[in-house]
Amino acid sequence: MFTSYDNSSLAKIIILLKSHESEYLSGEDISESLKLSRAAVWKHIKRLQSLGYKIDSKQKLGYRLLKITDLLLPWEISDGLKTKLFGKRIYYFDTIDSTQNFAIELGSKTQENGSVVVAYKQTHGRGRLSRKWVSPSGGIWLSLVLHPEFEISAATLFPVISSLALAISIEKVLKIKPKLKWPNDLTLNGKKIAGMLVDASVESGKIDYLVVGVGINFKINPQQVEKAIKGTENYYGVATLVKKNDKTSPVKLVQTFLYELEKLYEMILHGNSEYLIKEWTKRSSSIGKTVTVLSPTGMIRGKAVRVDKDGALVVSSKGKSQRILAGDVT
CATH number of domain containing 232: 3.30.930.10
Query: Do 141 and 13 share a structural domain?
Result: no
CATH of the domain at 317: 2.30.30.100
Pairwise CA distance, residues 60 & 220, whole Å: 41
Query: Do 202 and 254 share a structural domain?
Result: yes
Closest CA to 185 of 116, 227, 228, 237: 237
CA torsion angle 182 183 186 187 (round to 10)? -30
| Most confident segment among 53-67, 123-137, 145-159 | 53-67
Provide the pLDDT for residue 228: 63
Query: Do 323 and 200 share a structural domain?
Result: no
Count of the separate structural domains present in the chain: 3
| Most confident segment among 19-23, 153-157, 278-282 | 278-282
Question: Does the pLDDT at position 238 exceed 90?
Answer: no
Query: Do 137 and 90 share a structural domain?
Result: yes
Pairwise CA distance, residues 11 & 6, whole Å: 9
CATH of the domain at 38: 1.10.10.10
- pTM, to two decimals: 0.91
- CB contact set of 239 (below 8 Å; sequence gap of 6+): 187, 188, 189, 191, 192, 193, 217, 222
Query: Do 99 and 185 share a structural domain?
Result: yes
Q: What is the mean pLDDT of residues 132-146?
A: 83
Q: What is the mean pLDDT of residues 169-174?
A: 97
Query: Do 114 and 207 share a structural domain?
Result: yes
Pairwise CA distance, residues 139 & 119, whole Å: 9
Question: Does the pLDDT at position 71 exceed 90?
Answer: yes
Question: Does the pLDDT at position 234 exceed 80?
Answer: no
| Most confident segment among 7-11, 40-44, 310-314 | 40-44
Provide the pLDDT for residue 138: 87
279 backbone dihedrals φ, ψ, rounded to 5°: -70, -35
Query: Do 107 and 172 share a structural domain?
Result: yes
Q: Show the domain range for 204.
A: 74-282
Q: What is the mean pLDDT of the chain?
A: 89
180 backbone dihedrals φ, ψ, rounded to 5°: -105, 125
Provide the pLDDT for residue 101: 94
Neighbours of 261 (CB within 10 A): 25
Provide the pLDDT for residue 123: 87
Query: Do 235 and 87 share a structural domain?
Result: yes
Pairwise CA distance, residues 74 & 117, whole Å: 9
Query: Do 259 and 300 share a structural domain?
Result: no
Angle between helices 9-18 and 38-50 (to 10 degrees): 80
Question: Does the pLDDT at position 6 exceed 90?
Answer: no
Query: Do 164 and 125 share a structural domain?
Result: yes
